[in-house]
Structures are given as structure tokens and as C-alpha cells.
């Protein structure tokens, strides 16, 4: 009998609604891929909490007592740049979406999402994707189209393959899904991603997606 046991993805929750926090905890704890290692009603001492309990993915509410989720996301990214953060909220307004993603959020999911959608979004951010609720994605595109002045498009010198891959990122696909869609290996996807980041002068998939939409690259 094999002694190897698949290690679950560790999730930490920051959510002030007790009922929702408990629901998320049980959803994660009963799943095959995830385990909830901590669930907090606020973001007090957030850096120390994350140092004390190693985590792979963070679920972050926006509206919380004390420091809100947008400020907390920005703070976490200064210390733990590698931990993806899924913004989980009731807010659909463009400004909050934009602020959350610019602060370092890896995805933006609405609280009316189904259990399946929540688990899929967590898996996507864990694997490097940038999941957005469909209505959120539309608002984000509209926000950039209506608020950003039309300027001469900057030439980032992306190859056709890099543009194709960037479009998949904008669509919220994970690295694995991109590899399947483009019929290339995961390692090739990562190489393309590295080159895209360098050309766009960004450090995360969310920044790349934001820049792609803002500059109408795809």
C-alpha cells in the first residue's frame, strides 16, 4: 500500500460574516483538494497570522472592520508576493474591482457564486489564473473602455503566441487550461508568461490582465 498522501491546498479566510465564514470553512474542509487552515473575522495582525500559519491561497472579503480587504491585500503582497488572493465580495462596482486587482488580488468573485464556482476559482488562482465572475469581467472591460483616454497604443512587441496566451489569461484560464487550449506544455506556458511579464513590465497575472485590457493589447 502506498504511503504517499496527496497534500491539500491550504486556504486562509478573512471574512467578517460569521455564517459565510463558517460555510466557507465547511465547504473547503469537505473538499478533496482544499483544507481551511485558518478563518478570521478581521485583518488584525494579518502579517503575523500568515507567518504563524503557512497558507497557499487567501480568500479576502472587502468590507471588514479595521483595515479593509483592499488595504490588506496590498499589505500582504508586500510580504507574501507569492500567495494568490481571491477577493470574495458582494461589491460589483467598477472602482472597487479595479482597486482590488491593482492592490494585488488574483481574482474577484461575487458572494452569490455557487460552491462549485468558488472551488474552481480557488483552484484557478492557485494555478496562476485570474478568475473573474462574468459580470465582473464585463464591468472591468467597460471601466477601462470608458474611463481611459484613447492614446497611441504602445507596442509591447508581443509575439502572436504571446498575445494568444494573454487573451486566455484575460479570459480567466489557469496555466493548465491554457496549455490544453494552445496544445503546448505547462513549461512552455510558464516560459511565455515569463516573457510576457518582462515585456509588459509586470509581476503577476492580474497585473498582466489589467494592463492588457487597459492598453487594448488583446
- Per-residue pLDDT of 47-106, as tens digits, reads 999 999 999 999 999 988 889 999 999 999 989 988 999 998 887 666 777 788 778 888
pLDDT attached to residue 9: 95
Q: Has residue 184 got a pLDDT over 80?
A: yes
For residues 43-59, one letter each, b for 16 or more C-beta atoms within 10 angstroms of the residue's C-beta and e for the rest, the string is beebeeebeeeebbbbb
How many CB atoms are closer than 10 A to CB 42?
15
CA distance 36 to 16: 16
Percent of the chain at pLDDT exceeding 90: 43
Is the pLDDT higher at 127 or at 27? 27
Q: Is the pTM of this model over 0.85?
A: no
**11 bridge partner residues:** 36, 57
> Would the pLDDT of 111 be above 80?
yes
The set of cell numbers assigned to 87 is 477577493
Q: Domains in the chain, please, with CATH? A: 9-142 (3.40.50.2300), 150-214 (1.10.10.10)
What's the pLDDT band for 3 if we cut at 50, 70, 90? very low
Task: Considering only residues 81 and 172, tell me which one the structure prediction assigns the higher pLDDT.
Answer: 81
Say if residues 215 and 153 touch (Cβ distance below 8 Å): yes
Amino acid at each position: 500500500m502506498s504511503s504517499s498522501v496527496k497534500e491539500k491546498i491550504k486556504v486562509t479566510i478573512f471574512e467578517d460574516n460569521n455564517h459565510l465564514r463558517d460555510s466557507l470553512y465547511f465547504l473547503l474542509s469537505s473538499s478533496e483538494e482544499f483544507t481551511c487552515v485558518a478563518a478570521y473575522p478581521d485583518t488584525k495582525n494579518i502579517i503575523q497570522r500568515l507567518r504563524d500559519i503557512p497558507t497557499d491561497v487567501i480568500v479576502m472579503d472587502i468590507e471588514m472592520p479595521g483595515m479593509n480587504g483592499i488595504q490588506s491585500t496590498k499589505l500582504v503582497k508586500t510580504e507574501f508576493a507569492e500567495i494568490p488572493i481571491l477577493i470574495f465580495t458582494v461589491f460589483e462596482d467598477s472602482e472597487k474591482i479595479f482597486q482590488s486587482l491593482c492592490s494585488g488580488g488574483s481574482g474577484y468573485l461575487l458572494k452569490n457564486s455557487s460552491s462549485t464556482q468558488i472551488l474552481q476559482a480557488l483552484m484557478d488562482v492557485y494555478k496562476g489564473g485570474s478568475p473573474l465572475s462574468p459580470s465582473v469581467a464585463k464591468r472591468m472591460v467597460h471601466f477601462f473602455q470608458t474611463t481611459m483616454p484613447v492614446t497611441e497604443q504602445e507596442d509591447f512587441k508581443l509575439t502572436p503566441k504571446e498575445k494568444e496566451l494573454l487573451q486566455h489569461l484575460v479570459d480567466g484560464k489557469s496555466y493548465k487550461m491554457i496549455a490544453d487550449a494552445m496544445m503546448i506544455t505547462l513549461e512552455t506556458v510558464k516560459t511565455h508568461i515569463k516573457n510576457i511579464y518582462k515585456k509588459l513590465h509586470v509581476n503577476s497575472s492580474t497585473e498582466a490582465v489589467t494592463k492588457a485590457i487597459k492598453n487594448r493589447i488583446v
